[in-house]
Structure 1
C-alpha cells in the first residue's frame, strides 16, 4: 500500500513515516500544500493522509481536488481540530475517515487498512462473511439467495464491522461512524447496544450464528471470518 503523508509538523510526519514503513507501507512525505499537489501529479497513491492546517494552503481544498479528480484514492483527514463540525465537514467533503490529534499510531494503521479494504471491496461489490454475503452495490445482506431484512443502520453497522474485522470497536467508534454530528446530542452511547442486539438477533435467526463478540469493558468485535 502506497501512502502520501501531508503533514507540516516535521517530527510528527517523520514519526508517522517511520512507523508506517515498519508496518510494511510505502510512504512519502509532503510538508506543505504545494508539495502535496506536485507529488499527487507525479505519482499514484492508494491513500493520502491530509492535515487540515497547512502553512501554504488548506487541507480541505486538497481533499476537494482529490474527490473531483481522483475518486479512487483513499483519504484520511488528520487534524488537531477535533470538533464534531470539523469531522463532519471533512467526511461530507468525501474523506473516508477522520482522526484527531493526538492519536496512537497503531490506530492510524488500523484505519488505513480499513480504508484500503473498503476501496477494494467497492470495486468487487461483494464481501463474503461465513454464511452471509454483503452486496455493497445493492446494500443488501444475503444468506444463500435470501435477503436478511436489516434497517439502514443495521446494514451500515455490519459493514463497519466487516471493514474493521481485526479491530475491537467501542460504542463511541460505532456511534461516531454511523450517527456523525448527532452523537453530541446524546448523554451516552447506550443506544448502540440496542442496535447491536437487533443486528445479532436477525443474523442468528437467518444463519444460526452469532457473528459479534462482546469484549467486556471495551466494545465489540467481529467473530466471523471474512472469506
Structure 2
C-alpha cells in the first residue's frame, strides 16, 4: 500500500512515517500545500492522510485533486479539536474519515486499514493469487478454473487475508471483521479457529501448499 502524508509538524510526520514504514507500507511525505500539489498531480496513492492547516494553504483543497486523479484513493483528514467546520467540509468534499489531534498512531493505522479493506473488498475485478482466482461479484473461488466451494464465513475470511497479505492479523481482528457488531455473540475464538482450519484445508488440498501460517502468540499470516 502506498500512503501520502501531508503534515507540517516534523515530530508527527516522523512518527507516522516510521510506524507505517515498519508495517511494510510505502510512505511519501509533503510538508506544504505546494509540495503536496506536485505529488498528487503526478502520482496515485492508496491512502492520503491530509493535515487541514498547512503553512501555505489547506489540505482540504487537495481532496478533489486527489479524487480526480485516483477516485479509489482513501482520504483521512487531520484536524484540530474545535474544527467542526473543517471536518464537515472535508467529509462533504469526499474524505472517508478524520482524526483530531492529538491522536495515537495506532488509531490512525486502524482507520487506514479499515478504509483500505472497505475499498478493496468493494472491487468488481477478479483477484488472483498463485493459481487461484476470486470473483468478488459472484463470491466464488477458483483454482485453475475449477471452483472450490466455500461457506460464507470462509469466503469472508479469505478476502480478509488477501487484503492483508503478508501481514500478521490477530484472532480478534479476524473475528471483528467477520462478525462485526455481533462479535460478542461468540463466547471465544473457537469459531474463528474452525472457519480458518476449514479454509486452510481447502486451499491446501487444491494447491498442496499452506498459504496461512500461524504466528504463535500473535495471530496468522497469509502469504503466497
Q: Which residue of 2 aligns with 1:16?
A: 16
Q: Which runs of 5+ in 2 are unaligned?
A: 80-90
Q: Which residue of 2 aligns with 1:128?
A: 129
* TM-score, length basis structure 1: 0.57
**Secondary structure of 2:166's match?**
coil
Deviates more, 1:193-202 or 1:11-20: 11-20
Closer, same or farther: CA 174–77 of 1 in aligned 2, 3 Å: farther
Give the count of matched residue pairs.
198
Q: How does 1:66-145 map to 2 (within 5 A)?
A: 70-75=70-75, 101-103=104-106, 115=116, 125-129=126-130, 131-145=131-145
Q: Distance in 1 between matches of 2:68 and 2:153?
A: 28
Q: Which residue of 2 aligns with 1:3?
A: 3
**Secondary structure of 2:179's match?**
helix
Closer, same or farther: CA 163–69 of 1 in aligned 2, 3 Å: same
Q: Distance in 2 between matches of 1:155 and 1:177?
A: 12
- String of CA shifts for 1:5-43, please: whole Å, max 9, x gaps: 245765212332466689794623368xx8899678755
Q: Which residue of 1 aligns with 2:213?
A: 213
Q: Which residue of 1 aligns with 2:49?
A: 50
- How far is 1:76 from its partner? 6.1
Q: Distance in 2 between matches of 1:166 and 1:64?
A: 32
Q: Distance in 2 between matches of 1:30 and 1:195?
A: 45
1:150 aligns with 2:154: no
- String of CA shifts for 1:66-96, please: whole Å, max 9, x gaps: 77994222446889xxxxxxxxxx9xx9959
1:191 aligns with 2:194: no
Q: Which residue of 2 aligns with 1:164?
A: 164
RMSD of Structure 2 on Structure 1 (CA): 5.0
- How far is 1:146 from its partner? 1.8
Q: Distance in 2 between matches of 1:11 and 1:169?
A: 28
Q: Distance in 1 between matches of 2:193 and 2:63?
A: 34
Q: Which residue of 2 aligns with 1:84?
A: none
Q: Which has the larger radius of gyration?
A: 2
Q: Distance in 1 between matches of 2:69 and 2:185?
A: 36
